[in-house]
Amino acid sequence: MEENKSIRDELKDIKQIIEEGNKPKVKKAKPFRLPFKSVVNNNKLKKGYITIIEIKENMSINFTKEPIIDGAIKLEDSYHAVEDYDIFNYKGKPLIIQAKNKLNPYNPLRGTNEIYGQKYVMARMEGERISAKKSIGLGISIGVLIIVGVVIYALVTGGGG
């Protein structure tokens, strides 16, 4: 340290060091990467292979790559049908999500409209609508108060003319 530094300068330095130490460190999120054994290279892609996310009965997940032969894939001891609309793309490579105990792959874009979570969605939308009304109501009330204040001021001072 310098000999001629004032106490104020030293306190500022100490405060700066403390503030830098209290800042939370922000970690950058790492992108999801498929396990190496399930990545389909271009050679396998030409032969009809596809990456499969296999969901087993005990809710564990296994990543594999298997060929599509006659519109079906084989996972260990079971066969599963695959349609064009069940195949997704992950970084340009084909991928399906297959439950072990289902015949067809899982496709979240297909199926009926699910309404079991609708009450939560509606409650959220209602809460946001109420907060928007409150902010509009506050602006209108301030505007009305300003107008009333101007009218009272005009009456007290004897009018504008």
pLDDT tens track for 34-91: 888 888 888 888 888 999 999 999 999 999 999 988 888 888 888 898 888 889 998 8
Q: Examine the domain organization and report whether 94 and 130 are in the same domain.
A: no
Quote the number of domains for the chain. 2
CB 75 within 8 A of CB 63: no
Per the prediction, the chain carries an average pLDDT of 82
Tell whether the model's pLDDT for residue 8 goes beyond 70. Answer: yes
Q: Examine the domain organization and report whether 125 and 76 are in the same domain.
A: no
Across-strand partners of 61?
Answer: 55
DSSP 24: P
CB 33 within 8 A of CB 77: no
DSSP-derived pairing of the beta strands 93-99 and 61-67: unpaired
Of the residues 99, 122, 137, which one is the last residue of a structural domain?
Answer: 99
Of the residues 46, 76, 99, which one is the last residue of a structural domain?
Answer: 99
CB 88 within 8 A of CB 95: yes
Model-level pTM?
0.54
Q: Kindly report which listed range (49-63, 110-124, 146-160) carries the lowest average pLDDT score.
A: 110-124
Q: What is the pLDDT of residue 130?
A: 65
Q: What is the pLDDT of residue 3?
A: 65
Considering the domain boundaries, does residue 146 fall inside one?
A: yes
CA atoms within 13 A on the CB side of 56: 9
DSSP 40: -
Considering the domain boundaries, does residue 61 fall inside one?
A: yes
Measure Cα distances from 37 to 25, 41, 62 in Å: 34, 11, 10
Q: Kindly report which listed range (13-22, 52-61, 108-117, 126-135) carries the lowest average pLDDT score.
A: 126-135
Q: Examine the domain organization and report whether 83 and 117 are in the same domain.
A: no
Q: Examine the domain organization and report whether 95 and 133 are in the same domain.
A: no
Considering the domain boundaries, does residue 22 fall inside one?
A: no
> Where in the sequence is the domain holding 119, given as residue range(s)?
113-161
- Show Cβ contacts of residue 83 under 8 Å, excluding neighbours closer than 6 positions: 71, 104, 105
- H or E, element range at 78: strand 78-81
Q: What is the pLDDT of residue 117?
A: 65
